[in-house]
C-alpha cells in the first residue's frame, strides 16, 4: 500500500498485512516529529505526484532487492512533536535485504518526493530545507 493521508497509521496492522508464508523478516522505519525547539509542524504535499513517486521508489526497491512487499504511508497536515510522519514496512525472506530495502526507500523518499514541512516555533515559523540541511531524521 502506498498512501498519503492525514490520519495516523497502526504499525502492527501493517506489519501483519505484510506477512506471507515466505516472510522471515520485516523491517520498518517510522519517522517522527522531533523536538527541534518547535511547537508543531504542517506537512504539505503535491499529492498526485508524491503518491506516484512513492510507487516509483517502491518499484525500484523491489527491483534492486529480493523483497516480498513494500508499504509506505506518509502523513500530511498538522502534526505535533512525537507524532508519526512516515511508515515504511518492508518484508522479505531474510533480514539483510529487508534492512537494505527499507533504508533505500527512506533515503530516496527524502530526495525526490514532493512533500514539505513548515515548522512552527514559539514566535515564528520556517520551511524545512531539503535533506542535508535541517532534515528531521
Partner interacting with residue 64 (select from a second copy, other proteins, none; CB below 5-8 Å by kind): none
Q: Interhelix angle for 47-64 vs 95-112, to 10°?
A: 150
- Please tell me the distance from the alpha carbon of residue 76 to that of residue 44, in angstroms, as a whole number: 6
Tell me which stretch binds a second copy (CB under 8 A): 11-19, 45-53, 55-63, 119-127: 11-19
Query: In which residue are the cell numbers 512516515 written?
Result: 86
Contact residues for other proteins (CB under 8 A)?
31, 43-46, 48-50, 52, 74, 85-86, 106, 109-118, 127-131, 133-137
Which three-class secondary structure state does DSSP give residue 52? helix
Q: Closer CB to other proteins, residue 77 or residue 129?
A: 129
Which three-class secondary structure state does DSSP give residue 14? helix
The residue ranges that bind a second copy (CB under 8 A) are 10-13, 15, 19, 21-35, 81-82, 93-95, 98-99, 102-103, 106, 136-137
Amino acid at each position: 500500500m502506498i498512501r498519503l493521508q492525514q490520519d495516523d497509521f497502526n504499525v502492527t496492522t501493517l506489519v501483519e498485512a505484510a506477512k506471507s508464508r515466505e516472510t522471515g523478516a520485516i523491517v520498518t522505519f517510522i519517522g517522527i516529529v522531533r523536538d527541534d525547539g518547535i511547537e508543531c509542524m504542517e506537512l504539505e504535499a503535491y499529492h498526485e505526484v508524491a503518491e506516484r513517486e512513492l510507487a516509483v521508489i517502491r518499484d525500484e526497491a523491489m527491483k534492486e532487492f529480493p523483497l516480498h512487499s513494500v508499504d509506505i504511508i506518509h502523513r500530511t497536515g498538522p502534526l505535533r512533536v512525537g507524532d508519526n510522519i512516515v511508515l515504511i514496512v518492508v518484508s522479505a525472506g531474510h533480514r539483510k535485504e529487508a534492512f537494505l530495502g527499507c533504508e533505500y526507500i527512506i533515503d530516496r523518499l527524502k530526495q525526490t518526493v514532493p512533500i514539505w514541512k513548515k515548522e512552527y516555533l514559539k514566535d515564528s515559523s520556517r520551511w524545512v530545507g531539503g535533506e542535508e540541511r535541517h532534515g528531521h531524521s
